[in-house]
Amino acid sequence: MSEAIKNRYDFVFLFDVKDGNPNGDPDQANLPRVDAENQEGLITDVCMKRKVRNYVTLKHELKTPYDIFIRQGNVLNTLIDSAEGETVQTRQENLCSDYFDVRAFGAVMSTGKKGAGTVRGPIQFTFSRSEDRVYQAEHSITRCAVTTEDDAKKQESREHASTFGRKATVPYALYRMHGFVSVMDAVKTGFSQADLSLLWESLLNAFEHDRAAARGEMTPRKLVIFKHDSHLGNARSGELFDKVVVESKSELPRSINDYTITVPTQADLPAGVTLDVRL
């Protein structure tokens, strides 16, 4: 495996959604996820990891060492049992070497005949949360084509001229996600500087290759990266996150122009922390 990163990182990722459903809740008729108490929009960490996996798949076409372990069609027990190595540790090392998402996010691989234990990944995402309350808009939709002969007969009369459905969207929301990169876990999985660069690239480009009518327009707005000089870190993550301030200029935001995003300068940061702002 490549040499692991030597610096801890924390980051803030800001992105927005317009007229789309970024992450439907199957327990709520696939409505956009919200905090039940204050109606702020939510997107799960799993959803964002899926977008990273999809981008890596498109760029590297599942070629080692950028294959993807957690993806549709994979039979995980078969992959785990086929990993070379007589011990759990060697099987873990080989799986980490082959699969980007295992190196980055970790995986539970204790199943199968052999098993490869559990790998804790160095990359952790929080839920993404909208800066303001969101409105779960529901829209009635119709279709003129039908799928069965019975439906066709029903449409012969005017009162059954169309088949109806429902579609849910968020009119607009600016979401904020926090992330963490651990050196100690990176050493265990072999997460390298090249892997880290691919992570940043994936976050900034994933929406471009994940278009769907249901998701509307999703756009990255700001990626603020804090690099620590040491492997343990030179400041607490919460202290750094608080320095990225988002203020609304409208009671009903409908675009990124309705917000002011303030990013700290290098002089504002604690000693030993370097700022890197993308976009």
Q: What pLDDT digit, counting tens, does each position of 258-267 carry? A: 999 999 999 9
Which has the higher per-residue pLDDT, 182 or 156?
Answer: 182
Over residues 53-74, the mean pLDDT reads 97
Mean pLDDT in the chain? 94
Q: Which domain holds residue 223?
A: 9-137+168-278
The total number of structural domains in the chain stands at: 1
pLDDT score recorded for residue 79: 94
pLDDT score recorded for residue 1: 58
At 169-227, the pLDDT tens digits run 999 999 999 999 999 999 999 999 999 999 999 999 999 999 998 999 999 999 999 99
Q: How confident is the model at residue 163 (pLDDT cuts 50, 70, 90)?
A: low
The DSSP string of 88-107 is HHHHHHHHHHHBHHHHHHEE
| Residues β-bridged to residue 14 | 176, 222
pLDDT score recorded for residue 135: 94
Q: Is 144 within the bounds of a domain?
A: no
Is the model's pLDDT at 146 over the cut of 80? Answer: no
Q: Is 261 within the bounds of a domain?
A: yes
Q: Is 145 within the bounds of a domain?
A: no
- Contact between residue 18 and residue 171 where contact means Cβ atoms under 8 Å apart: yes
| Residues β-bridged to residue 262 | 245
Of residues 183, 179, 215, 185, the one with CA closest to residue 200: 179
pTM of the full structure: 0.93
- The answer for 73, left when phi > 0, alpha when psi is -120 to 50, beta otherwise, is left
| Residues β-bridged to residue 220 | 15
Of residues 9, 74, 30, the one with CA closest to residue 230: 9
pLDDT score recorded for residue 114: 86
Q: Is 120 within the bounds of a domain?
A: yes
Q: Is 53 within the bounds of a domain?
A: yes
Q: Is 147 within the bounds of a domain?
A: no
Q: How confident is the model at residue 158 (pLDDT cuts 50, 70, 90)?
A: low
Over residues 136-142, the mean pLDDT reads 88
Q: Is 110 within the bounds of a domain?
A: yes
Q: Is 1 within the bounds of a domain?
A: no
pLDDT score recorded for residue 234: 98
- Contact between residue 273 and residue 235 where contact means Cβ atoms under 8 Å apart: yes
The DSSP string of 143-190 is ES--SSHHHHHHTTSGGGSSEEEEEEEEEEEEEEEEEEE-HHHHHHHT
Is the model's pLDDT at 11 over the cut of 90? Answer: yes
pLDDT score recorded for residue 162: 66
At 71-96, the pLDDT tens digits run 999 999 999 999 989 899 999 999 99
